[in-house]
Amino acid sequence: MDGISPVGRRLVSLIGMLESNLEEKSKLYEDGAMQYIFLMNNILYIVQKVKDSELGTLLGDRWVRKRRGQVRQYATGYLRASWTKVLSCLKDEGLGGGGSSSNVSKVLLKDRFKNFNLAFEDIYRTQTVWKVPDLQLREELRLSISDKVIPAYRSFMGRFGGQLESSRNAGKYIKYTAEDMEKLLLDLFEGFPGQLNNPRRKLST
C-alpha cells in the first residue's frame, strides 16, 4: 500500500469497514445458505465496482484475487449448508440389505425417496426465488450443485430405482429422472418462483 494518497488510504479503510458490515448483516439471515449467497453477491458487487473504477489500479490485482478466493470459499460453504441433507438421502447407510441392493427394505427405500423429494423440492421452492445477479457466479453455482447432486442421484436410482418401478404408486416416490433434475437446477437463483412439475407422475397410473 506504499505510495497511496491519503484519499486512497481512506477509501481502502472504508471498503474494509463495508466488508465487515456485510459479515455482520449476513448473520441476520437465519438460513445459513442464504448468508453465503448474500456475501457472495455483495463481495462480487464490490469487486466489480472496484475493477470498473480508479480503485482497481489503487488496490491492485492481489486485492481482487483475494476477494474472488473468498467468494469460492463462500460457495463451498453454501453447498455444505444447502445440500448436505439432500445428499444424505442418497447414501446406502441405514437401508439394510447387508450390502446387497436386492435385499433392501422397500419401506425404507420409499421413505428415502420421499425424504429426498421433500428436501429437494424445499430447496427448489426457496432458492429459485433467491437472486444471484452475476451471470458467471449463477452458472458456477448451478454447475457445482449439479456435479454433486446429479451423479449421486443417478447412482442411487441405478441401484435401487428398479425395485420401486414396478410398485403401485411408483411415481409418488420416483418423481424425477436425473435429466428432470438437471433442468430444474437451471431455475435456481433467478429471483422468481420456479415451476415444479413432475413428469414422472405418469408412472403412478
DSSP summary character for residue 93: T
pLDDT at 204 over 60: no
Residues 6+ apart with CB under 8 A from 51: 64
Burial code of 14-39, b = ≥16 C-beta within 10 A, e = fewer? Answer: ebeeeeeebeeebeeeeeebbbbbbb
| pLDDT per position as a tens digit, 128-162 | 999 999 999 999 999 999 999 999 999 999 988 88
CB 104 within 8 A of CB 167: no
State the angle between helix axes of 55-88 and 32-51 in degrees (0 to 180), rounded to the nearest 10. Answer: 160
Q: Which domains does the chain have, with CATH numbers?
A: 1-82 (no CATH), 89-205 (1.20.1280.170)
Mean pLDDT to the nearest integer, 50-67: 87
d(CA 202, CA 205): 6
- Supply the pLDDT for residue 194: 87
| pLDDT per position as a tens digit, 73-115 | 999 999 999 999 999 999 988 776 655 666 678 888 999 999 9
What are the Cα distances from residue 49, in Å, to 11, 15, 59, 128, 137?
13, 11, 12, 26, 16
| pLDDT per position as a tens digit, 20-47 | 999 999 999 999 999 999 999 999 999 9
User: Which is higher by pLDDT, 171 or 149?
Assistant: 149
